[in-house]
Structure 1
Amino acid sequence: MRAALNVAALGCRGPAEATLIADYNRLLADKRKVLATAYARTEADTRAAGGKDWRDVHDRRMTQVYNFFAQPPAKTRFCTIATQVAGEAAAMPAADFSAFAATALPRLEAPFLDFYRAYDTYRRDLAAWQARARPATQLTYAPLDTVITWSPAPDRRLATAESTP
């Protein structure tokens, strides 16, 4: 959750920008111990699973997390939600923060997951549309010399109107 809010504080611009940054900075200051404990746990988990190059593995994973929350297609909605979550997180007592984070993280992920669900639906729908039978007729173009010499047929209504007294 901290990574998501860090990306938001660095990348979300607009009318709520100052509030988001202030709330994020307050979160960092007020929840310093909780955040440090959570980060130490992620390092310990990676160290246990990653062997001697655990730090490289940890750095790659953290980069993936930051990159996930920095994807442009969902930025607008993400920034709106991140601003709300940052305000709630900053106001949250440190003792309740871990439980709050567990419910807030899915909210922060939702704009990206929704985008990819919609994109998958689009791809499936496009494939189904492309797989449908095509009509037997195809559009053909007239030869250029025919186009150059073409003129519209006389308008019979116009001829009739002119010949009527």
Structure 2
Amino acid sequence: MRRGGLLASGAAALLAGCGAPPKVAVAPPPPPPVVVIPPRPQPPLGASPTMVIPARLADGSRATVNSGISAAQALWNLRSAYNVAALNCTGDQGAPILAGYTEFQKKYARTLTATNKALDKEYRARFGAKAIREREAYQTQVYNFFALPPVVPSLCRAALELTGALQAVPAAQLESFAAASGLAGAEAPFRAFFDSYEQYQSDLAAWESQYGASFAAAEEAPRS
């Protein structure tokens, strides 16, 4: 009887040992990595995010109001750029630019008058009875181009350089100076700005592709 009891106790112990294993605690999965969203790219110099900049031509240059023009038109456009600077540049830069532009008008008066007449002739040959209207419309585009607000401070610096450079330019060479380097110098700040804006557009497209959805989701999430 005692032996039977021992056997029964042993069997019970064996059965107990063959039961379900003890539960092992499983660590929860780690949280997803936090996505750090860098700031959204912004337009250079506080420009509008919807600005349309001049397109590039096949040679990589940009199609601006100064592209493909005659030497006479180049001089007149340089005059327009100088005029915009004289009207808009202030502070320490303003006085020498205004004085330089005034001297420019006096020193090159005959050359500028001849250039103006040459342009009238060009427009009559191209547009006939519409010559005056076409020239005025184009000239408005030129002034608007050089008066682009974000770039005016840089235009002022270019106008200071122009003021100095004109000291060595005789009247007979003014038109060739404008066509060769003068107008390009006035336009250089604008081309640099357009390049910066193009880079902004590229950076913004990359940012939208990588972070746009996450940024939108974060913006739509309820605030606690």
Which TM class, normalised by the smaller chain length? Answer: 0.7 to 0.9
Q: Which one has the bigger helix percentage?
A: 1
C-alpha contact 1:27 1:90 (8 A) present in aligned 2: no
Q: CA deviation at 1:91?
A: 4.4
Instruction: For 2:164 and 2:121, locate their aligned partners in 1 and report how far apart those are by CA, in whole Å.
Output: 29
2:182 is the counterpart of 1:104: yes
Residue identity matched to 1:56 = R
Aligned to 1:156: none
RMSD: 2.0
C-alpha contact 2:93 2:156 (8 A) present in aligned 1: no
C-alpha contact 1:26 1:90 (8 A) present in aligned 2: no
Aligned to 2:158: 81
Instruction: For 1:46 and 1:90, locate their aligned partners in 2 and report how far apart those are by CA, in whole Å.
Output: 31
2:196 is the counterpart of 1:127: no
Instruction: Give the total of aligned pairs.
Output: 141
Structure with larger Rg:
2
Aligned to 1:2: 79
Aligned to 2:171: 94
2:86 is the counterpart of 1:44: no
2:192 is the counterpart of 1:114: yes
Flag structure 2 segments of 5+ consecutive residues without an equivalent.
1-77
1:116-144 Cα offsets, whole Å, 9 max, x none, are 11111111221122123756xx65558xx
**Once structures 1 and 2 are overlaid, which stretch shifts more, 79-88 or 54-63?**
79-88
2:104 is the counterpart of 1:27: yes
**Once structures 1 and 2 are overlaid, which stretch shifts more, 32-41 or 76-85?**
32-41
C-alpha contact 1:30 1:90 (8 A) present in aligned 2: no
Cα gap change, 1:90 to 1:7, in 2 (>3 Å): farther
Q: CA deviation at 1:90?
A: 4.4
Residue identity matched to 2:152 = K
Residue identity matched to 2:193 = F
Instruction: For 1:74 and 1:29, locate their aligned partners in 2 and report how far apart those are by CA, in whole Å.
Output: 27
Instruction: For 2:79 and 2:189, locate their aligned partners in 1 and report how far apart those are by CA, in whole Å.
Output: 17
TM-score when normalising by structure 1? 0.76
Flag structure 1 segments of 5+ consecutive residues without an equivalent.
148-165
Counterpart selection for 1:72 from 120, 128, 149:
149
1:73-114 Cα offsets, whole Å, 9 max, x none, are 111111011122023224421122122212111110111121
Instruction: For 1:7 and 1:91, locate their aligned partners in 2 and report how far apart those are by CA, in whole Å.
Output: 22
Instruction: For 2:164 and 2:100, locate their aligned partners in 1 and report how far apart those are by CA, in whole Å.
Output: 5
Q: CA deviation at 1:14?
A: 1.2
2:134 is the counterpart of 1:60: no
Structure 1 SS opposite 2:173: helix
